[in-house]
Amino acid sequence: MKSATVGRTAGIIAAAMLSACAGSQPVTAPPVALAQPGAAKSQTFEYTGAPQTFTVPSGVTQITVEAFGAGSPSFSNGPSGPSSIGSNGGYLKATIPVTPAERLGIFVGGGGSLGELGQGGGGGYNGGGPGGAGVYGTSYSDGGSGGGGASDVRKGGVRLGDRVVVAGGGGGGGVAVGFYGAGQGGAGGGITGGTGGGAGGGYSSGAGGYGGSQGSGGGGGLGGRSGYGTGADGQKGDRKRGGAGGSGHVYAGGGGGGGGGGGYYGGGGGGAGTRITSGVGGGGGGGGGSSYAEPGAKHVKNVQAGAGAGNGKIVISW
């Protein structure tokens, strides 16, 4: 009798437990995101107009840098109004050796500025050359556009000699002030930056500046010549910046030349145009700056005009 009672009691308890389990919902643990071993990480540096810093993470002995040089803008005010054709900056990708906790200098190039009546456009941050000035007070002279700045990474310091990766900036466009065209800015990047275009109008128009190379800055373009006067030649680029564009003649006028792009070596400035009886010569485009990767870099990809016409940027991945 006692054993039967115990059996009934056990059965009642078991049934109650089963009923409780049937009426409850199972508890599900929230999903957990697991870190993938060796997953790539990256950091992007946009243009700020000032030096920036990247600190190498612990355990990292090499990084891949993608540098985008800055370019120069374009504008048009109709077939007989002022106009200018800018250019794109260069693109350089390279893998370089680093040391954990090492601090690298990051310099992101700024885009060049458009010129206007009486003055040339400013060169972009980090080496863009200024556009040649127009002559204030005459409709025959508008200023050329400034060249784009280079984007670079520096190791061991912040001097020009500490650069290990450089993407060249594009040259500024010369300006046309009439029916004669203006010279387009030379593309940034490559072993040698692109040569600026010569302006239309024959001998009265400015010639384009030459691109910077691995060992010297690009030469400046010659200014236009006529009986009314001579447009100024563009200046030669160097390691610090692109050359300034030539300015229009103080009396005759003429379109200003574009500034050279910054780079490992900067491009030369475009020559200015001058006036002739039938019109006004345009300014030549500035030359593009060259790109560079240190000798120890691997997997280098160097593309001329591989970036845009605005500000540059730098992307670091590891």
Q: What is the DSSP letter of 249?
A: B
Q: How confident is the model at residue 16 (pLDDT cuts 50, 70, 90)?
A: very low
pLDDT, residue 201, reads 73
Residue 41 predicted with pLDDT over 70: yes
pLDDT, residue 223, reads 96
Residue 113 predicted with pLDDT over 80: yes
pLDDT, residue 97, reads 98
Residue 295 in domain: yes
Rounded to 5, what percent of the chain is helix, strand, coil? 10, 25, 70
> The whole model's pTM is what?
0.86
Residue 26 in domain: no
How far from 165 is each of 76, 129, 175, 286, 301, CA to CA, in Å? Answer: 35, 20, 32, 23, 11
Q: Which position has the higher pLDDT, 282 or 117?
A: 282
Could you read off the pLDDT of 188-216 as tens digits, one per residue? Answer: 999 999 999 998 778 889 999 999 999 99
What do you get for the CA distance between the two ends of the chain, in Å?
78
Q: Which position has the higher pLDDT, 113 or 136?
A: 113
Are 258 and 272 spatial neighbours (Cβ–Cβ below 8 Å)? no
Residue 29 in domain: no
Average pLDDT of span 95-101? 98
Q: Which helix (H) or strand (E) holds 6?
A: helix 2-22
Are 273 and 206 spatial neighbours (Cβ–Cβ below 8 Å)? yes
Q: How confident is the model at residue 179 (pLDDT cuts 50, 70, 90)?
A: low
Average pLDDT of span 295-310? 98
pLDDT, residue 32, reads 37
Task: Give the dihedral sign, CA 142/145/146/147.
Answer: negative
Residue 234 predicted with pLDDT over 60: yes
Could you read off the pLDDT of 149-158 as tens digits, one per residue? Answer: 999 999 999 9
Q: What is the DSSP letter of 64?
A: E
Residue 312 predicted with pLDDT over 80: yes
Nearest Cα to Cα of residue 222 among 245, 251, 254: 245
Residue 24 in domain: no
User: By percentage, how much of the chain surpasses pLDDT 70?
Assistant: 84
Return mean pLDDT, the chain: 87
* Tally of domains within the chain: 1
Tokens of 238: 């160097």
| Strand partners of residue 316 | 43, 65
Worst-scoring range by mean pLDDT, 107-111, 122-126, 133-137, 158-162?
A: 133-137
Cα–Cα distance between 5 and 196 in angstroms, integer? 105
Tokens of 6: 């115990």
Could you read off the pLDDT of 56-90 as tens digits, one per residue? Answer: 999 999 999 999 999 999 988 766 667 889 999 99
Residue 13 in domain: no
Residue 118 in domain: yes
Torsion of CA 256, 262, 264, 268, to 10 degrees: 0
User: By percentage, how much of the chain surpasses pLDDT 90?
Assistant: 69
Cα–Cα distance between 291 and 286 in angstroms, integer? 16
Average pLDDT of span 140-163? 94
Q: How confident is the model at residue 181 (pLDDT cuts 50, 70, 90)?
A: confident
Residue 201 in domain: yes
Counting every residue written for the chain, the total comes to 318
Worst-scoring range by mean pLDDT, 53-57, 203-207, 252-256, 308-312?
A: 252-256
pLDDT, residue 7, reads 43
Average pLDDT of span 235-256? 92
Residue 182 predicted with pLDDT over 90: no
Range of the domain at 238: 43-318
Residue 2 in domain: no
Tokens of 303: 């593309």
